[in-house]
Structure 1
Amino acid sequence: MKRTGDHTPAAERRGERPPKDARQLLASSFGSAAVAYAEHRPDYAKAAVCWALEPAPGLRVLDLGAGTGKLTATLVALGAEVIAVEPDAAMLTELRRALPTAQAQALQGSAEAIPLPDASVDAVLAGNAMHWFDMAVAGPEIARVLAPGGILAGLWNLMDDRVGWVAGLAQVSGSAAIGPRDTPANWRIETAYMHLPQTGVAARFGSAEQAVFAHGQRRTADSLVATLATRAGMLVKPEEEQQATLSRIRAFLASRPETACGEFTLPMLTGVLRARRL
């Protein structure tokens, strides 16, 4: 694990977010690929999830923007009482297929309108989802459902571009497939202040901490291409552009000894941004 403590605004550059309409288009794109998302997206490093929960007062956990349940499954395995909230009906169908109600309660809802009572959970976790939230609205909602002393944590799976062939893959893929939060250095900058504004809702949370944890996913060239095809930037591309990008990625993977034949481990990290509700 690598971690950093509190940051000052001058120490980090705030990342530029897409315009609201563009962000909504990207955020709503996943339902069209819900089955592929469930099959190919990775889970989250167990150590990262444990660190996110470490200071929580209990194990009543809301998985917010739960998608097909990648993070939900890890939380269930850790013994948490989990409620998963997801706005997209197709993603929610895959979540319920993977995790029956006996394991996790799954509800349709959003970060901006959470269908839970006040102070009803000890932690709110979001896996590869917090950057889609409108925190001006979602922040007070998250604070509302969190018990005093509760934890808000965002988790992101990152490509470890400190590894040579992964850095090459990022260059070939372009930002639609491997975006600004998908590599460690950029993730630290993009998440440090974007999701916990310095006024308003920030008064409800303490200082944020970041940490990264080693992770990996067994892939083949074909399944890695399929994984990258589920990224929002890829899903909204015109078909011709999407196929051209995927063809470049296939050619790159075929050219590298690490990925040309059979299974390999994709070097990854899980990054966590964590803050306590005051």
Structure 2
Amino acid sequence: MARDPEHAITFGQAVDAYDRGRPGYPAEALDLIVESASSRLRRRIVDVVDVGAGTGKLTSALAARFDRVRAVEPDDAMRARLLANVPGVTAFPGTAESIPLPDADTDLVTVAQAWHWVDPVRATAEVARVLRPGGTLALVWNIRDERVPWVRDLGELMGASPGVDENDSADPPLPGPLLRYDHVELPFSTSLTREQLTDLVFSRSYVIALDDERKADLRTRLRDFLDATPELTGERIELPYVTRVTLAAE
């Protein structure tokens, strides 16, 4: 079930933390998407639309591969940062349920770290509308690898609703007309400073929503956790993820 869409437009309140703390996406995931989508299309991909693009974490990787990449992002502050981060990309206000493009206008739609915010019935129909025949929808998530004990402890400290991102990313809802045809999980890690890990925590929607007193309490508990955890005492922290990619088409 999609989460409250109002929370999806709170990220602009923490745009700096989001931009500094959130990881990009592994090249292997992009390779897989491009190869599979091109194969279904039976030609080279020309147009890509990145929906729920945020500050451009995935958009920038797409722009390095394709001549024409457009972004759709509902939050004004996030969209402004995206345009600063990825010069030359066109960015529109919009959502997965309301993509401001004509019918059959793109070869590939990507949605990274965002499908759990959407109404899947409306969003799937809208993506199908803007895709050309043979086009692909690629859903991508970076999920912290909580098989690692300290990463699991970090998740408990952050106080996330258990299993929400994990369940949605493992088996994202895809009503017709688009049907899932592949799902791949790739190991991935990102190197962070202590300050960037703090930014990562404070870029989460449920942390952004906390009042000042609870944010201050979380900041103190996070500092104590970083000081007490041997894996986190160096200059840089290797944070393991699993990148999940789901591909769908008509």
Task: Give me the TM-score of the superposition, normalised by structure 2.
Answer: 0.90
Equivalent in the alignment of 1:196: 174
- CA RMSD after TM alignment: 1.8
Matched ranges for 1:101-112 at <5 A? 101=88, 104-112=89-97
Equivalent in the alignment of 2:194: 221
Equivalent in the alignment of 2:214: 241
Deviation of 1:181 (Å) = 4.5
Equivalent in the alignment of 2:116: 131
Deviation of 1:38 (Å) = 1.7
Confirm or deny: 8 A CA contact 2:186 2:244 kept in the other structure. yes
Q: Is 1:42 aligned with 2:23?
A: yes
Q: Is 1:160 aligned with 2:141?
A: no
Q: Deviations over 1:165-204 (max 9, x none)?
A: 212222222216xx5345xxxx2x334554213xxxx1x2
Equivalent in the alignment of 2:234: 261
Equivalent in the alignment of 1:117: 102
SS in 2 for 1:207: strand
SS in 1 for 2:103: coil
Equivalent in the alignment of 2:163: 180
Q: Which runs of 5+ in 1 are unaligned?
A: 1-15
CA distance in 2, matches of 1:157, 1:108: 24
Q: Is 1:147 aligned with 2:135?
A: no
SS in 2 for 1:51: helix
Matched ranges for 1:20-99 at <5 A? 23-56=4-37, 57=41, 58-79=45-66, 81-99=68-86
Describe the shift of the 1:131–1:208 C-alpha distance in structure 2 as closer, same or farther (beyond 3 A): farther
Confirm or deny: 8 A CA contact 1:173 1:248 kept in the other structure. no
Deviation of 1:245 (Å) = 2.2
CA distance in 1, matches of 2:139, 2:164: 12
Confirm or deny: 8 A CA contact 1:85 1:110 kept in the other structure. yes
Describe the shift of the 1:265–1:153 C-alpha distance in structure 2 as closer, same or farther (beyond 3 A): same
Describe the shift of the 1:181–1:50 C-alpha distance in structure 2 as closer, same or farther (beyond 3 A): farther
Give the total of aligned pairs.
244
Q: Is 1:171 aligned with 2:149?
A: no
Confirm or deny: 8 A CA contact 1:192 1:208 kept in the other structure. no
**Identity %, equivalent residues:** 36
Q: Deviations over 1:76-126 (max 9, x none)?
A: 12235211111111111000111112xx22122221111111111111101
Structure 1: 4+ residue segments shifted above 3 A:
191-194
CA distance in 1, matches of 2:133, 2:219: 46
CA distance in 2, matches of 1:113, 1:131: 16
Confirm or deny: 8 A CA contact 1:210 1:274 kept in the other structure. yes
SS in 1 for 2:29: helix
